[in-house]
Structure 1
Amino acid sequence: MNPSKKKILDKAFSLFLTQNYDSVSMREIQDAAQISRGAIYHHFKSKEEIYETVVNEYLLPMFSSYMLIPEEEKKTLQATIEASLKYRQSHIATLKEIAASNNKLNDFYFFKFIFQATEHSKEFNEKANLLYEKEFLGWRNVVQTAMRTGEIRPDIDIDFVAQQFVISPFGLGLSMAFNKYVHITTTELRTIYLKLYTLLKKTGYM
Structure 2
Amino acid sequence: MNPSKKKILENAFNLFLTESYSSVSMQRIQNASGVSRGAIYHHFKSKEEIFEEIVNEYLIPAFSTYSMIQEDDKSSLQNMIYASIKCRQSHINLLKEVTSFKMVDFYFFKFIFQASEHCKDFTEKVNVLSEKEFNGWRNGIQLAMRTGEIRSDIDLDYVAQSFMTIPLGLGVFSAFSNYININTKDLRTAYLRFYSLLKKTGFK
Q: Please give the TM-score of this superposition, normalised by the length of structure 2.
A: 0.97
Deviation at 1:59, TM superposition (A): 0.7
CA deviation map 1:7-31 (0-9, x unaligned): 1111111110000000001111111
- Hey, what does 2:128 align to over in structure 1? 130
2:176 to 154, 175, 178: 178
Pairing of 1:1-206 with structure 2 (within 5 A):
1-99=1-99, 101-103=100-102, 105-206=103-204
What is the alpha-carbon distance in structure 1 between the residues aligned to residue 178 and residue 48 of structure 2?
Answer: 27
**Identity between Structure 1 and Structure 2 (%):** 64
The amino acid of 2:32's aligned partner reads A
Q: Give distance in 1, aligned partners of 2:73 and 2:9.
A: 31
Give the TM-score taking structure 1 as reference length: 0.96
Gaps of 5+ in 2: none
Q: Take 2:118 and 2:52, find their aligned partners in 1: how far apart are those partners? A: 9
- Contact 1:107-1:180 within 8 A present in 2 as well: no
Q: Give the superposed CA RMSD.
A: 0.9
Give a deviation string over 1:159-187, Cα, whole Å, max 9, x none: 00000111111111111211242011111
Count of residue pairs the alignment pairs up:
204
Runs of 4+ in structure 1 deviating by more than 2 angstroms, as ranges, are: none
Report the AA paired with residue 187 of structure 1.
Answer: K
Whole-angstrom CA distance in 2 between matches of 1:174 and 1:88: 15
Output the amino acid matched with 1:127. K
Kept after mapping to 2: 8 A contact 1:8/1:30: yes
Counterparts of 1:180 and 1:20, CA distance in 2 = 20
**Ranges in structure 1 where 5+ consecutive residues have no aligned partner:** none
